Structure 1
Amino acid sequence: MTRAIASLLGAGFLRPGPGTWGSIAAVVPGAALLALAGPLTVAAGAVLLTALGWWATTRELARTTDADPQWIVIDEAAGMWVALAGLPAFGWAGVLAACVLFRLFDIAKPGPVGWADRQGGATGVMLDDLLAGALAALVLVALAFVLPTEWFP
């Protein structure tokens, strides 16, 4: 069961780019929550995904010598939902911007994201994506103040 959770029901085994597949797998349910219930619900979902991911990742890391197996993508889902929680409301332009910004910060690993990635265990696996999502959310909040409402309703 922990393998299914950690891989987002197998999305982590898709190639190439399992992290991108994990992010994509998180976008549709995250965007639906945003559209139906708003950013606070998405943020609460991110907290639940984080707790579940930390639990599953801890158990899966105990079974391998790999410090950060590529197939573990629950961390991408949690980070993506943190990014989506930065949108004031649902809009496809905003969802696309959240996805692009999250992946950019997750891949480039600037500052605190890179530091978190170097931590061991489930902390290193989960925290870098949560921080990448938080940075993306901050950029989205800033963009919502300067872009027309048709971009970020």
Structure 2
Amino acid sequence: MFEPDTPSSPTAPPAAARPPVVRPTWAFVLAHPAHFIALGAGSGLSRFAPGTAGTLWAWAAFVVLQPFMSDAAWATLIGLGTLVGWWACTVTAQHMRVADSGHIVWDEVVAFWLVLWLVSPTGFWGQLVAFALFRFFDAVKFGPMAWADQTFKGFGARGGFGILLDDFAAALCTLLVIAFWKY
């Protein structure tokens, strides 16, 4: 169960003395709105490849939302999702006491929404190529992804921003490959 950073009794250990949350649970996800967002509504609980699970969740959500969304609505959702995600990733990383847990998947969600929005209209195969490229760039973390990942590690707002930034770099690389491939 998740315990807030403030001790509930005089005998409770301080937050720094508690071990990191290595494997979050549904209780942790539901303990704070930031956890629910950062862990991708629970998709980040996957024991196998939580980043891939979060990206698949983003893809499914995109397919469901797409018929109802204009370009302005997508831009607003991605913009607000980035700002709210920055907060959620910052808070969740602090509560987990892990600078960039693989279970925090909101970064994959919002970055992959950006990719899907910008490659639309495209069908299943185009989206699958975007998915594969995005997962490749997010997993290997070379070039701009490595720079973002290494430069913004840590806790606090800077660390929360870094959690998001390396996935936006992966999104940029994905979009560049698709652009060169199409033209």
TM-score (structure 1 length as normaliser):
0.84
Distance change >3 Å, CA 41–CA 132, structure 1 → 2: farther
Are residues 1:86 and 2:118 paired? Answer: yes
> Offset at 1:91?
0.9
Distance change >3 Å, CA 41–CA 24, structure 1 → 2: same
Tell me how far apart the structure 2 counterparts of residues 57 and 142 of structure 1 sit (CA, whole Å): 32
* Count of aligned residue pairs for this structure pair: 145
- Asked if the contact 1:86–1:138 (Cα under 8 Å) also holds between the matched residues in 2, the reply is no
Residues 89-127 of structure 1 show CA distances to partners (whole Å, capped at 9, x for unaligned) of 131111101100100000111211111111121122110
Runs of 4+, deviation exceeding 4 Å: 32-41
Higher relative contact order (CA 8 A, sep 6+): 1
For 1:68, the equivalent position in structure 2 comes to: 100
Tell me how far apart the structure 2 counterparts of residues 29 and 131 of structure 1 sit (CA, whole Å): 21
Distance change >3 Å, CA 40–CA 31, structure 1 → 2: farther
Residues 48-81 of structure 1 show CA distances to partners (whole Å, capped at 9, x for unaligned) of 2211210101111222321111211000101111
**Alpha-carbon RMSD:** 1.9
User: Which residue identity lines up with residue 60 of structure 2 in the other structure?
Assistant: V
Distance change >3 Å, CA 125–CA 72, structure 1 → 2: same
1:9 is paired with a residue whose SS is helix
Distance change >3 Å, CA 4–CA 26, structure 1 → 2: same
Task: Compare CA radii of gyration and give the structure with the larger one.
Answer: 2
Are residues 1:135 and 2:173 paired? Answer: yes
For 2:4, the equivalent position in structure 1 comes to: none
> Offset at 1:40?
6.0
- Asked if the contact 1:68–1:125 (Cα under 8 Å) also holds between the matched residues in 2, the reply is yes
- Asked if the contact 1:86–1:140 (Cα under 8 Å) also holds between the matched residues in 2, the reply is no
> Offset at 1:41?
4.6
For 1:59, the equivalent position in structure 2 comes to: 91
2:58 to 26, 30, 37: 26
Question: What's the % identity of the aligned pairs?
Answer: 34
1:22 is paired with a residue whose SS is helix
User: Which residue identity lines up with residue 174 of structure 2 in the other structure?
Assistant: A
